């Protein structure tokens, strides 16, 4: 059936289209047109003057809805993915935090299975760790970080085709060799939980570390050793022109001033927004479900309050946070859809409202709340308040 969405402000790669329509058929965008005349035989959707925008691409989330992806069960994966889908993440790369390799193999097998389902929002697996600098990993990864072993990561990569991103600390012995190997296999390599300074980041980028995970978090900035000043990881990433970054824009991990600074220096094309969400995201609970963590002031913290441990945000929160920080809505939307789609290599079918792309479409009201979600042309009923 042909579906026609009309009477809304449509966000296109060329900017906002104030009068027009989006046509959907067979899970694809048939056309984005400046004509809003009703087509014979089409199911009409009235956007009621709201925003019609591309679905968000979630490239860093550990869980949601009470489930963590490290549980490695179909129920955990499906529930967490659907939780984020309800809040606009029409594409997702489930994130496995530092885990033993038998669990990583298990997760990869499950991920491959779920990716085969028609119209699956799962586009691949994201691994964070276990090759992380113990000094920067924090107590949440206690006992779960290790030295790099070439044999084990090669065996995993050669056993599956679903891994699309791997985060590690570039200063670890063997990290640069690993990055070259992963890069040659088309896998995004991200610097994470690192204290690398400029020379280290420069060498890492040349080896294949082209992305910085949760920028500013779990990495040092400008600092002193004795009487001398040194650039930190943050300044080094800024100075590496081609390196992309991600921001946990939940309004708590980073203040609005830093969000604006990153946006100003790196730009829309090199900046994407992530939730880094934990299992307690979108549960409405005030308890984390894990004695090591607490939920306090809208964020997950270590139980002793010594550090932030993760987000409870969903993708729609990121856009609202950026707009409140003074970022134009269109740029906030691009950093949630187009830029992560480009970084993850799926922009050919995701990340923008264009002819022949997957019909991943959101309707947002004037307060930027989700009112309707289409994923691969399918209306997500649990997210739909447009027709009520």
The dihedral built from the CA positions of residue 76, 82, 83 and 85, taken in this order, carries a sign that is positive
- Assign 3-class secondary structure to 140-187: HHCCCCCCCCHHHHHHHHHHCCCEEEEEECCCCCCHHHHHHHHHHCCC
What mean pLDDT comes out for the span 348-368?
98
Which DSSP string do the residues of 18-72 spell out, in sequence order?
A: SS-EEEEETTEEEEEES--PPPTTPEEEE-TT-EEEEPEEEEEE-EETTEEGGG-
Residue 161, both tokens? 């085709």
The yes-or-no verdict on residue 161 having pLDDT over 70 is: yes
What is residue 118's three-state secondary structure?
coil
User: What percent of the chain clears pLDDT 70, i.e. is strictly above it?
Assistant: 100
* CA torsion angle 232 236 237 238 (round to 10): 110
What mean pLDDT comes out for the span 45-73?
97
Phi/psi at 106 (5° precision):
-60, -45
What mean pLDDT comes out for the span 263-289?
92
What local confidence, expressed as pLDDT, does residue 388 receive? 64
Helices (H) and strands (E) in the chain, counts: 11, 25
Higher pLDDT among residues 328 and 305, named by residue: 328
């Amino acid at each position: 059936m042909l579906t026609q969405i009309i009477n809304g402000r449509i966000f296109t790669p060329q900017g906002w289209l104030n009068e027009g329509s989006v046509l959907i058929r067979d899970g694809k965008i048939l056309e984005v047109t400046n004509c809003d005349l009703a087509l014979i035989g089409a199911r009409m959707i009235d956007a009621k003057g709201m925003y019609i925008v591309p679905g968000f691409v979630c490239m860093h989330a550990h869980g949601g809805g009470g489930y963590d992806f490290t549980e490695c069960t179909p129920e955990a994966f499906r529930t967490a993915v659907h939780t984020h889908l309800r809040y606009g993440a029409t594409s997702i790369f489930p994130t496995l935090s530092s885990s033993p390799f038998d669990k990583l193999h298990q997760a990869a097998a499950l991920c491959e299975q779920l990716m085969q389902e028609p119209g699956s929002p799962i586009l691949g697996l994201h691994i964070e760790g276990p090759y992380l600098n113990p000094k920067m990993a924090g107590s949440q990864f206690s006992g779960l970080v290790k030295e790099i072993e070439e044999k084990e990561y090669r065996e995993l990569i050669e056993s599956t085709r679903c891994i699309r991103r791997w985060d590690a600390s570039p200063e670890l012995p063997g990290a640069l060799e690993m990055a070259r190997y992963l890069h040659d296999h088309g896998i995004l390599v991200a610097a994470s939980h690192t204290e690398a300074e400029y020379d280290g980041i420069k060498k890492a980028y040349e080896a294949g570390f082209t992305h910085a995970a949760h920028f500013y978090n779990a990495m040092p900035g400008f600092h002193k050793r004795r009487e001398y000043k040194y650039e930190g990881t943050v300044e080094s990433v800024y100075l590496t022109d081609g390196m992309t970054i991600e921001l946990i824009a939940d309004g708590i991990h980073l203040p609005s001033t830093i969000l604006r600074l990153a946006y100003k220096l790196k730009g829309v094309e090199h900046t994407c927004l992530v939730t880094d969400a934990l299992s307690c995201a979108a549960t409405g609970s005030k308890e984390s479900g894990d004695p090591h963590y607490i939920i306090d002031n809208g964020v997950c913290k270590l139980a002793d309050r010594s550090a932030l441990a993760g987000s409870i945000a969903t993708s729609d929160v990121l856009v609202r946070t950026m707009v409140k920080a003074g970022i134009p809505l269109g740029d906030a939307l691009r950093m949630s859809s187009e830029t992560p789609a480009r970084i993850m290599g799926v922009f050919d079918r995701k990340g923008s409202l264009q002819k022949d792309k997957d019909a991943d479409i959101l309707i947002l009201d004037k307060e930027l709340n989700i009112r309707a979600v289409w994923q691969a042309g399918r209306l997500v009923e649990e997210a739909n308040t447009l027709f009520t």
